[in-house]
Amino acid sequence: MIYLDYFATTPCAPEVVDAMLPWFTQDFANPHSTHGPGQKAAHAVEVAREHVAALIGAEAREIVFTSGATEANNIAIKGAARHVQRMGGERRRVITSAVEHKCVLESVKSLESEGFEPVILPVDRHGMVDSASLEKALSVPTALVSIMAANNETGVLQDIPTLSALARQAGAVFHTDLAQMAGKLPVSLEHVDLASVSAHKMYGPKGVGALYVRRRPRARVVPLLSGGGQERGVRSGTLPTPLVVGFGEAARIARGALTVEPERLAQLRDALWQKLRDGLPGSVLNGAKVPRLPGGLNFCLPKGVSALDVMAHLPDIAMSTGSACSAAELAPSYVLTAMGLPEAEASRCLRLSVGRFTSNAEIDRAAALLVDVARVS
Please identify every residue annotated as catalytic. Answer: 325
- Rounded CA-CA distance 83/64 in Å is 17
- Rounded CA-CA distance 203/251 in Å is 9
Total residue length of the chain: 377
Spatial CB neighbours of 300, under 8 Å, sequence gap ≥ 6:
283, 284, 285, 286, 341, 345, 346, 348, 349
- Rounded CA-CA distance 176/159 in Å is 11
- Rounded CA-CA distance 67/196 in Å is 11
CB 298 within 8 A of CB 341: no
Residue among 206, 153, 185 nearest 5 (CA): 153
- Rounded CA-CA distance 47/241 in Å is 11
Q: Given the DSSP bridges, would you call strands 63-66 and 209-213 parallel, antiparallel or unpaired?
A: antiparallel
Spatial CB neighbours of 345, under 8 Å, sequence gap ≥ 6:
300, 336
CA 295 vs CA 32, 156, 158: distances in Å: 39, 11, 16
- Segments of the chain assigned E as strands: 2-3, 63-66, 93-97, 117-121, 142-146, 173-177, 194-198, 209-213, 284-285, 296-300, 317-318, 349-353
Q: Residue type at 301?
A: L
CB 109 within 8 A of CB 74: no
SS (H, E, C) 123-165: CCCCCCCCHHHHHHHCCCCEEEEECCCECCCCCEECCHHHHHH
- Rounded CA-CA distance 130/134 in Å is 7
Tell me if residue 198 falls in helix, strand or coil: strand
